[in-house]
Amino acid sequence: MRNRTCLVLGAWMLVALNGCADVDVDDNSEQVGVAEQAVTAGRELRLRMILAGQLEEGADEIFLTARQRGSSSMNIIRPPGDPDYWRFDTPGSSLTMNQHVGTIVANGENLLVHVMEQDDPPIFPNADLGEMIVFLDGAHTPHFVDTSTVQYKGINENGWHHLRFHVGAIYHVYFSVGAYQL
């Protein structure tokens, strides 16, 4: 009976549950609910400060993107209102903010964050200043991975994590990590 249920429901279960889980029909809605909850359980990453080290071209128009590895769903992080980017004209200048970036999920999957300098795509593509990788270990402690494009510089006096993005420019970007949330 269970195998037949899997055949009938196989198509959508592959999408909803990433496989034919060993569950009875009556449990399906609950199982989907658990799957959704698992996606959001984790710690919130928030953007707190951007400091320009070396400009990309001058009058830099900075925004961020964030997504879970393997997901096509992307958060775009921009200031509210107009202009919808953080502008930097001078090396050494900084701006503070407090904005949601994404959730570092509990299952250890990587959250990928890019700092972007806006141009005029598709003719003049936006410049990608680096990819930050962060994940939670089994104790829900965040780990920032050094990559060829982003360097982890530690925690500052505010408790913010300091990352140095350094592709074609240098930007120091500071993030806070919230308490673990189910």
Task: Answer whether the bond into residue 79 is a cis peptide, omega within 30°.
Answer: no
62 versus 105: smaller Cβ distance to Ca ion: 62
Least CB distance to Ca ion at residue 97 (A): 19
61 versus 131: smaller Cβ distance to Ca ion: 61
52 versus 104: smaller Cβ distance to Ca ion: 52
Calculate the alpha carbon distances from 115 to 52, 90, 126, 172 in Å. Answer: 12, 17, 10, 10
How far apart are alpha carbons 115 and 118 in whole angstroms? 10
45 versus 60: smaller Cβ distance to Ca ion: 60
How far apart are alpha carbons 47 and 160 in whole angstroms? 9
Least CB distance to Ca ion at residue 88 (A): 10
Least CB distance to Ca ion at residue 127 (A): 5
Least CB distance to Ca ion at residue 95 (A): 16
- The CA-based angle 82-84-90, given to 5 degrees, is 100
Interacting residues with Ca ion (CB under 5 A): 56-57, 61, 117, 119, 127
